[in-house]
Amino acid sequence: MENPRSVEELGPGDHACLTFTDPDERLDIVAAFVRSGLDLGHKVLCFTDSVPVDRLPGELEARSVAAQAAIRRGQLAVRGSERIWLAEGQPSARRMVDLLAGQLDLAAREGYPVLRMTADMCWANRPVAAIDQLLAFESEVGELFADGRLAAICQYDRDSFDAVTLAFAASAHTRAVAATVYHEDPIVRICRQHSPPGVRVAGELDFTRAEPLTHALAESLRLDHHIHVNLAQLRYIDAACVSIIIQTALGLPDDRRLMVTCHGLVQEMFSLVDAGEIASLRVQAAHGRA
């Protein structure tokens, strides 16, 4: 398979495999896929498992996807993967392919030109499940993509599946999707955030990683209107890196903003330099944290 693509590059006819270890990164890519589908007038179907059905819409909303409104108008549907697969006791690849084919026809009858589907596959590791049926599904479902009316991202948690299963699953897809990572080492990870668009940094950040931070912010400055800097998973930042973020905000024209999401020590660092007084910068507490 070719090199992984960014989620923005996926479109009708793509059957993409997302292997992930960071749950935030998975939800970011899923949110971007759902959001662009909704924007383009596609029908969107989310099969979820590790994130419960009743929680996924909230997770999408937190990532700038108007999920509740889309559910109400019938453009977005959220279902439990396990319930669908194990509805008749034993998982069956053929039944799932037929079910998806039915959804594709339904979407067409409802007037949607394309169906976007994303599915969390971690249910397949439950004792009752059968990996062979999941892998058969991944092979057989390929036929549904032929006429360019279906786009899909299948999500595989690298910590849940063994390497052989992952390799087989990956080979059954025509595309791999991955986050754009600007920098990664054991201390810090700097990657692109797709929804809302910007940069996500996790770990600890100091001046020794100023260069990849500057590069990531410069790319967001070029690509995005408002810049969202997600530091919710960042435990430490030094004054040099706070200054780089402030400089980026100060360089924005009047109609653009840089939004920082953070908590704890990182939030205190922004308070200590009176970041609140900068008009183009917003610092907000991370969702669900003090």
Partner 1 sequence: MVGPETHAHRDGPAAGPAGASLDQPFGPDDLYALRAAVAAHATHLGAPPDRVAHLVIVAGELVSNAVRHGGGRGRLRLSRVDGAVRCEVSDEGPGIPEPERAGTRTPSVLAVGGRGLFIVRRLAASLTIRNTGRGTTVTALVAVPEQ
Among 204, 214, 233, 252, binds partner 1 (CB under 8 A): 204
| Spatial CB neighbours of 179, under 8 Å, sequence gap ≥ 6 | 6, 25, 28, 29, 191, 192, 194
Region of residue 199 (left: phi > 0; alpha: psi -120 to 50; beta: else): beta
Closest contact distance (angstroms) between CB of 144 and partner 1 is 48
Q: Is 246 in the site for partner 1 (CB under 8 A)?
A: yes
For partner 1, which is the closer residue by CB, 67 or 246?
A: 246
DSSP 95-113: HHHHHHHHHHHHHHHTT-S
How far is Cα 173 from Cα 123, in angstroms, rounded to an integer? Answer: 19
Kindly state the smallest distance separating residue 246's Cβ from partner 1, in Å.
7
Using alpha carbons, select from 217, 215, 213, 218 the residue that is nearest to residue 203: 213
Provide, rounded to whole angstroms, the least separation between the CB of residue 224 and partner 1: 22
In angstroms, what is the minimal distance from the CB of 82 to partner 1?
39
Residue 80 pairs with which residues in a beta bridge? 48
Query: Which residue in the set 211, 247, 276, 289 belongs to the binding site for partner 1 (CB under 8 A)?
Result: 247
57 Cβ contact list (under 8 Å, min separation 6): 67, 68, 71, 78
Question: Closest Cα to residue 259, out of 238, 273, 280?
Answer: 280
Q: By CB under 8 A, is residue 236 in contact with partner 1?
A: yes
Tell me the window of 59-67, 83-91, 129-137, 233-241 that interacts with partner 1 (CB under 8 A): 233-241
Show contacts with partner 1 in window 139-198 (CB under 8 A).
187
Q: Does 218 bind partner 1 (CB under 8 A)?
A: no
Note whether 238 binds partner 1 by CB under 8 A: yes
Q: Which of 272, 284, 287, 289 binds partner 1 (CB under 8 A)?
A: 272
Q: Is 243 in the site for partner 1 (CB under 8 A)?
A: yes
Q: What are phi and psi of 221, to 5 degrees?
A: -55, -35
Complex with partner 1: residue 150 or 281, whichever CB lies closer: 281
Q: Nearest approach, Cβ of 290 to partner 1 (angstroms)?
A: 12
